Amino acid sequence: SLNAPHIRPQNDLCLRVPFALAALPPWDEQLVEREARHLSKRLTPLLELGRFHGYLPQELAQATVVQKLDIGRFGELYRNGRLFPVNPQHSDLRSLL
């Protein structure tokens, strides 16, 4: 969950940050797992876990979602990610929308 009012969701996949980032925030696997558990009910329909997944005890259902998300692989991709500056002209044009 976001605690910074100046950072807002652009859509389900990205955030709009009104300032430049020199680097991605440090990877915190415990934080990612906690958020995955928190979001597990919203993520379940997207993961094709089978029609009986909803009958699992909550703790087992959450653990299944976290396992299916493959947080280790996601962390590898995150740590290898790079940031690219936004073209200022593109930002100006987006503000007109």
In 3D space, the residue among 83, 93, 91 whose CA is nearest the CA of residue 21 turns out to be 83
Tell me what the mean pLDDT of segment 85-92 comes to. Answer: 66
pLDDT in tens, 41-72: 888 888 888 889 888 898 898 888 889 989 99
Angstrom CA distances, 74 to 11, 94, 95, stand at 19, 29, 32
Percent share of the chain, pLDDT over 90: 21
* Single-letter code of the amino acid located at 68: K
Mean pLDDT of the chain, nearest integer: 80
Where exactly are the structural domains of the chain?
26-95
Confidence of residue 76 (pLDDT cuts 50, 70, 90): very high
Contacts of 93 (CB under 8 A, 6+ apart): none
Query: What's the sign of the alpha-carbon dihedral 7, 3, 82, 63?
Result: negative
